[in-house]
Structure 1
Amino acid sequence: MDRLAALLSNFHLSASVFNAGALCHGSRHPAKAGTGYVHILTGGTLHLAVAGHRARQFDEPVLILLTDDGEHWLGPGAQGAETLCGSFRFGLGQVGPIYRALPSLLAVPLDRLDCLSGLLELMLAEVREERCGRQATLDRLCEVLVIQLLRYLMDSGHVDTGLLAGLAHPKLAKAFIALHNQPAVPWTLTGLASEAGMSRARFAKVFRDTAGQPPGEYLALYRLGLAQAKLRDGVSLDAAASQVGYSSASALAKVFRRHTGLSPIQWRNLQCPETASDQKSKSR
């Protein structure tokens, strides 16, 4: 029972390491919609300032996860700082359910992350040895790091509400996996409760208390995010509607307008201006 398989397949993870080794001076990171950051302090002292939050200082090895909407600033202490810093996205970023489920700011001491120790050693070895393909290797390892972090968040109890909390629940996880794997099924509350092995009333309450929203609302937003991912990948509106559980393109278009204020085509053209330009060229 792979709790992440369908999510990672539909909302593709990409990551990039942009600092590996000594942090020589302060760095400012502007907010980017749908872009998260992982900053790992492996030695020295690190200062962190996030817009809207109290500034913090870290003197022990730590992993910092940031998905906050505000910009943030990093700086080394007087004795310097050794860091691994990367950014990541899940497909369309904030549109996807995984990104929305992540905490906005989380700091975990490295000595609590035994699951990452071997991976961090691999990354640090790449930093030290500077072999060919170094950047590509670090980027791929950063993707693995993010997946390992998702596992940690599900299994450690750090997140007590939202999608990751739902996937950590032994019964709710079965319903989440079913709807993620088969979004086009005409799911009902009774059907999802059956997948979870719970009564209809009990399932509705536990789902809302754990996920933070009713099952129908989660399903609608999941289908919308999945449709957006498919449209951005070049799938036609008719095909996208069918694949995510809408009876017609017009039914999907109504959902788009209600949630985004745009038609699906308008939305895709804003997200993928290069696609819109290609289509205009072909129509001339």
Structure 2
Amino acid sequence: MPDRLVWLLRHFNLRARVFQAGVLNCNASFEAQSGLGYLHVLKSGKVEITPQGHDPILVDDPSVLFFMNPTQHRVQPAATGCSMVCATFEFGLDEGNPLLEALPELTLVRLGDAPILGLTLRQLFTESEEDHCGKQAVLDRLCEVALVLVLRDLMDQHRLDVGLLAGLADTRLARAINAMHAEPNRNWTLEALAGEAGMSRARFAVHFRDTVGMTPGDYLGEWRVGLAQSMMLKGMPLKSVAGEVGYGSASALSRAFLARRGKTPTTWLREHGTKCSP
């Protein structure tokens, strides 16, 4: 099967920043900050994670927990403390990123259930306990690798029932989704997408909606606008972006953008401190 994450990782930049590495023996609270997710990796000990408005979750064996979307939460180690690596991360966009909308508020993967994470996390823990030059950069990169491996595990083990990763976990739907990701500027029809999946038009439409949570047309529209946001943040002019993502003109892209984001590209870019190039 082709790489199911290649286009997401190419267009939406993943960046992590480790701020805790080692023994944690006091409570810590984390505010919801726009565009920031949180990653917590428990090496040993026990810890309670309490998202705002939810009951505490006790984690008492090595695990990876991450909040993909900005979520206020509290981390409370057991009286004897615990060993943890914690990081913030960004995934390119605080809205319009399909991964941000595809995952639950909190994702918990116990390492005993995901051996694929073992080697990377052993390196992460080793680096966190030693004092070498470039330590911060290595910790940050290893956390980024860990996040990608968690996403891979969620797909490979079919841990999610609905959403983008559930769609990418389905061999037939993944072919259609990858095709949209690779060629957003193509004039995709339902028949053409069903052909990519090797399914009938009617069966594909129902299966896609039930698995991904939206129609193929809606997903394609969201992908195109999200991709346009990423390109505009990199300074690409609106007219060029429109052609790249499948709209015949800058005005056509602006209309689609307004319909899906409730604001024009110019307004959205201004809110992100960037000017819109025509």
Normalised by the length of structure 1, the TM-score is 0.93
Greater helix content: 1
- Tell me what 1:227 maps to: 228
Select between 207-216 and 105-114 the one with higher mean Cα deviation: 105-114
Letter in 1 for 2:13: H
**1:19-34, aligned counterparts within 5 Å?**
19-34=20-35
Give me the whole-angstrom Cα distance separating, in 1, the residues matched to 2:60 and 2:47. 7
Structure 2: unaligned runs, 5 residues or longer? none
Give me the whole-angstrom Cα distance separating, in 1, the residues matched to 2:57 and 2:147. 23
Give me the whole-angstrom Cα distance separating, in 1, the residues matched to 2:215 and 2:261. 20
User: Following TM superposition, by how much is the alpha carbon of 1:125 offset from its aligned partner in structure 2, in angstroms?
Assistant: 1.3
- Tell me what 1:131 maps to: 132
Deviations 1:55-84 (A, max 9, x none): 122222222122355300112111101001
Name the CA shift for 1:197/1:88 in 2 (closer, same or farther; >3 Å): same
- Tell me what 1:157 maps to: 158
Whether 1:40 and 2:41 are equivalent positions in the alignment is: yes
Give me the whole-angstrom Cα distance separating, in 1, the residues matched to 2:134 and 2:51. 33
Give me the whole-angstrom Cα distance separating, in 2, the residues matched to 1:179 and 1:260. 20
Give me the whole-angstrom Cα distance separating, in 1, the residues matched to 2:198 and 2:48. 48
- Structure 2 contact 35–69 (Cα < 8 Å) conserved: no
- Tell me what 2:115 maps to: 114
Select between 121-130 and 232-241 the one with higher mean Cα deviation: 121-130
- Tell me what 2:61 maps to: 60
Give me the whole-angstrom Cα distance separating, in 2, the residues matched to 1:56 and 1:186. 46
- Tell me what 1:244 maps to: 245
Give me the whole-angstrom Cα distance separating, in 2, the residues matched to 1:42 and 1:70. 22
Name the CA shift for 1:129/1:70 in 2 (closer, same or farther; >3 Å): closer
- 4+ residue runs over 6 A deviation: none
- Tell me what 2:171 maps to: 170
Letter in 2 for 1:83: M
User: Following TM superposition, by how much is the alpha carbon of 1:7 offset from its aligned partner in structure 2, in angstroms?
Assistant: 1.1
Select between 144-153 and 10-19 the one with higher mean Cα deviation: 10-19
- Tell me what 2:52 maps to: 51
- Tell me what 2:144 maps to: 143
- Structure 1 contact 103–159 (Cα < 8 Å) conserved: no
Count of equivalent residues:
276
What RMSD, in angstroms, separates the aligned Cα atoms of the two structures? 1.5
Deviations 1:76-128 (A, max 9, x none): 11110100111222111332112211221122222112001110111111111
- Tell me what 1:18 maps to: 19
- Tell me what 2:96 maps to: 95
- Tell me what 1:218 maps to: 219
Letter in 2 for 1:66: F
SS in structure 2 of the partner of residue 104 of structure 1: coil
Give me the whole-angstrom Cα distance separating, in 1, the residues matched to 2:60 and 2:264. 50
- Structure 1 contact 34–99 (Cα < 8 Å) conserved: no
- Structure 2 contact 65–106 (Cα < 8 Å) conserved: yes
Name the CA shift for 1:85/1:74 in 2 (closer, same or farther; >3 Å): same
- Tell me what 2:184 maps to: 183
User: Following TM superposition, by how much is the alpha carbon of 1:26 offset from its aligned partner in structure 2, in angstroms?
Assistant: 1.3
- Structure 2 contact 27–77 (Cα < 8 Å) conserved: yes
Give me the whole-angstrom Cα distance separating, in 2, the residues matched to 1:7 and 1:60. 31
Normalised by the length of structure 2, the TM-score is 0.95
- Tell me what 1:282 maps to: none
Deviations 1:252-279 (A, max 9, x none): 11112222232211111111x2x34x99
Give me the whole-angstrom Cα distance separating, in 1, the residues matched to 2:6 and 2:128. 30
Select between 63-72 and 41-50 the one with higher mean Cα deviation: 63-72
Structure 1: unaligned runs, 5 residues or longer? 280-284
